[in-house]
Structure 1
């Protein structure tokens, strides 16, 4: 584990940029960016366009380490280069931004009010490549739709089992059990989730470091105990379908919680914008998300 990067993530002011839409969500991300599905005819062309979009964001002068602590990539981005350097090396060497990798393969069908992660058969090999590519940490997402104790228990068990496997490779796992913001019993789900997470944290070996990525809680400062746990490097918040303005507003009421926004970060950016307009729009978003993250 890179101790400089650990210190940056643990104590730095700023937020984590999520640039990790992949697979099924890629066409949606491109569409939001103003690229229609008929602009590419196969997966390779689609991923090349996504990499162009991500490169434009990463190379923007607005995308800087004064505001951004880390960036979450997906596998395809990790394996590609920016100006002759692998993306993770470019982020750290040129920008001072810590690289993370999304490792999950998407969600299983809903059962017991939750969606677990699909199995990740090539995880060991992927982690080996992540270490070779100088990745600092990983991210994996499950979703909680109902306050179902059995379902939530399974989500947290799966997340921590994989988290321990990842930590054993010297990487810092971001554990992401998202509570659906449209859930009718969101607050009840959050109570069950926090109890399960605290139980698993108390059972970890003392040297294991993890991060948590959670939906912004209904009750302000509800995740305070998680922020204070010695195993937890940082707790970051997902935007979860809120607009950028809504997500920022909710975040300001949760001290210590910082953003890890994806769609809310790239909101308003389009392929057709001039560099000036693109950088201005990205800069404004970054300033606003940063301000909400340091309250």
Structure 2
């Protein structure tokens, strides 16, 4: 593990940019960016277009290490290059931003009020490749829709079971059991979730390190004890469908919780903007998310 990267993620001021839309969410990300589905005819063309979008974001002067600690990449992005350098190397060597990799392969059907992750095929090979490509950590997402204790227990158990495999590979897992922000019993789900996470953290080996990516809690500072847990490198928040303004407002009320936004980060960016317009919009978004993250 790169000690400089670890220290930056653990104690640096800033947030983590989520640039990891994958197969299922890429068309939506491109639509938001102003690229219609008739602009590409297959997955390869689609991923080339989304890589152009991500490259534009990453190369922007606004996307810098003063405010951004890390960036989460999709596997396809990890395997591509920016200016002749693999994306992860470009991020760290040119920008001073720590690279992460999204490793899950989507969600299973809802059962017991939750969506577990689908089995991750070829995980050992993917983790080996991630280490070779100088990735620092990984991210994997499950979703909690209802305050069902059995379902939430299964979600957290699955996340930590795979998390231990990731730790063994020499990477830091971001454990992401998202609570749906539209859930009618969101707060009750968060209470069960916190108990289950605490129970799993208490069983980890003394030197095991994880990160947590959680929905912004209903009750301010609800996750403060997780933030201070010795196993936890950092707790980051997803925007979960909130607008950027709402997400920032809620985040700012949670001390020690930092952003890891995707849609809220790229909100307002479009393919037909001039570089000046694009960079100005991105700079404003990054500044606002940064300010909410350091409160």
Query: For 1:161-220, what per-residue CA distance to the aligned partner results, in whole angstroms no more than 9, with x for missing partners?
Result: 000000011100000000000000000000000000000000000111000000000000
CA distance in 1, matches of 2:24, 2:72: 17
The within-5 A match list for 1:82-101 is 82-101=82-101
The match for 1:273 is: 273
- Shift of residue 121 of structure 1? 1.4
Is residue 245 from structure 1 mapped to residue 245 from structure 2 by the alignment? yes
The match for 2:286 is: 286
The match for 1:71 is: 71
- Shift of residue 42 of structure 1? 0.7
Secondary structure of 1:120 counterpart = coil
CA distance in 1, matches of 2:11, 2:122: 33
Is residue 22 from structure 1 mapped to residue 22 from structure 2 by the alignment? yes
Secondary structure of 1:219 counterpart = coil
The within-5 A match list for 1:5-20 is 5-20=5-20
CA distance in 2, matches of 1:239, 1:50: 20
CA distance in 2, matches of 1:74, 1:24: 12
The within-5 A match list for 1:1-295 is 1-295=1-295
CA distance in 1, matches of 2:228, 2:22: 32
CA distance in 1, matches of 2:276, 2:233: 36
CA distance in 2, matches of 1:259, 1:72: 12
CA distance in 2, matches of 1:200, 1:171: 18
Secondary structure of 1:212 counterpart = strand
Query: For 1:121-172, what per-residue CA distance to the aligned partner results, in whole angstroms no more than 9, with x for missing partners?
Result: 1100100100000000000000000000000000000000000000011100
CA distance in 2, matches of 1:111, 1:210: 26
CA distance in 2, matches of 1:102, 1:120: 11
CA distance in 2, matches of 1:209, 1:17: 20
CA distance in 2, matches of 1:288, 1:179: 24
- Shift of residue 116 of structure 1? 0.1
Could you state the TM-score of these two structures normalised by the residue count of structure 2?
A: 1.00
- Shift of residue 28 of structure 1? 0.4
Secondary structure of 1:108 counterpart = coil
CA distance in 2, matches of 1:214, 1:252: 15
- Shift of residue 235 of structure 1? 0.1
CA distance in 1, matches of 2:252, 2:51: 32
Which runs of 4 or more aligned residues in structure 1 lie more than 2 Å from their structure 2 counterparts after TM superposition?
Answer: none
Query: For 1:3-57, what per-residue CA distance to the aligned partner results, in whole angstroms no more than 9, with x for missing partners?
Result: 1000000000000000000111000000000000000011100000000000000
- Shift of residue 93 of structure 1? 0.1
Q: What CA RMSD, in Å, does the superposition of the two structures yield over aligned residues?
A: 0.3
Secondary structure of 2:196 counterpart = helix
Query: For 1:256-281, what per-residue CA distance to the aligned partner results, in whole angstroms no more than 9, with x for missing partners?
Result: 00000000000000000000000000
